[in-house]
Structure 1
Amino acid sequence: MIEVYTDGAASGDPGPSSAGIYIKKGKEHFEFAYPLGTTSNHQAEFLAVIKALEICAEYFPGEILSFRSDSKIVVETIEKNFTKNEAFLPLLNEINAYKENFAYVFFKWIPEKQNGKADKLARQALKNSKKDSM
């Protein structure tokens, strides 16, 4: 089973945003940090999950994935497979399409303090993208 920690960050709402992804496979771990452009904080959280699914599709196809996120809105939307927010619907559809590549994918909400590595990566990407735009 692959453990996937995701976090999104945004400076402003909407504003420059980023994704942090920390993946554990046994004793190995992998870190990814991506700028996402201008989005809301919630959209950044969804996009972090999508980026993580893209990575896992490339490196861990067919595996069982255990996602952990400190975003209740993301976890609840994915678990219920429903959102009233039209901005989130295409993101949910993309997540559902990616989930087809894996034996099983489940999502768990975790407190912020348990998501420190993904948070650090997201903040790092946000800081670096701000530097690049100066």
Structure 2
Amino acid sequence: MSAAITIYTDGSSRGNPGPGGYGAILMFGDKRKELSAGYRKTTNNRMELMGVIAALEALKKTGLTITVYTDSQYIVKALNEGWLNKWLATNFSGGKKNKDLWVKFYNLYKQHKIRFVWVKGHANNPFNNRCDVLATTAADGSDLQVDEGYEMDPNHLTL
């Protein structure tokens, strides 16, 4: 059995939609890695998901035991209450949002044994607070990336 990885993630958007960013901290033993990126136009839920995706993409092995701590009820409930399985089974019918990211996430998720734990945001959890700083700093940055899944979606195009 592999050693456990701990991941904290957070997402942020300045307006919903608006500029956004994510932050993630990966911890294994005494090793710690921080990730963040900012996007010019996106949503909070997309940034919450992108934080988890970026953390999982940073792992070099599969089959790991992982605990992800997030303040996103959206993510925790989608997994712990079976929402994601229903969305996948119905191909996200009924206008469910963020299909591109959920599919990408699911392909990473099934490579590991992952448990999701909700933590209260903006409380006294130093790792969640650090992720919030990473996410908001990225959202406020000047070299923001394009969230193509959001900006290229015909439902989000504006003139």
Question: After the TM superposition, which parts of structure 1 deviate over 4 Å for at least 4 consecutive aligned residues?
Answer: none
Return the TM-score normalized by structure 1.
0.85
Match of 1:116 in 2: 129
Alignment CA distance shift 1:127-1:9 (3 Å): same
Please tell me whether residue 91 in structure 1 is matched to residue 101 in structure 2.
yes
User: How many angstroms does 1:85 deviate by?
Assistant: 5.4
What residue is the counterpart of 2:58 in the other structure?
A: 55
- Judging by fraction of residues, say which structure has more helix: 1
RMSD: 1.8
Match of 1:132 in 2: 143
Q: How many residues align?
A: 128
Can you give the 5+ residue segments of structure 2 that lack an aligned partner in the other structure? 88-93, 145-159
After TM superposition, the score normalised by the length of structure 2 is 0.72
Counterpart position of 1:70: 71
Alignment gaps of 5+ in structure 1: none
Which deviations, in whole Å up to 9, do the C-alpha atoms of 1:62-85 show, x marking residues without a partner? Answer: 211110100111110122342565
Deviations 1:22-80 (A, max 9, x none): 11111111111111341111121112111111112xx3432111101001111101223
Contact 1:10 1:18 in 2 (8 A): yes
Which residue pairs with 1:7 in the alignment? Answer: 10
Contact 1:78 1:92 in 2 (8 A): no
Counting strand residues as a fraction of each chain, which structure ranks higher? Answer: 1
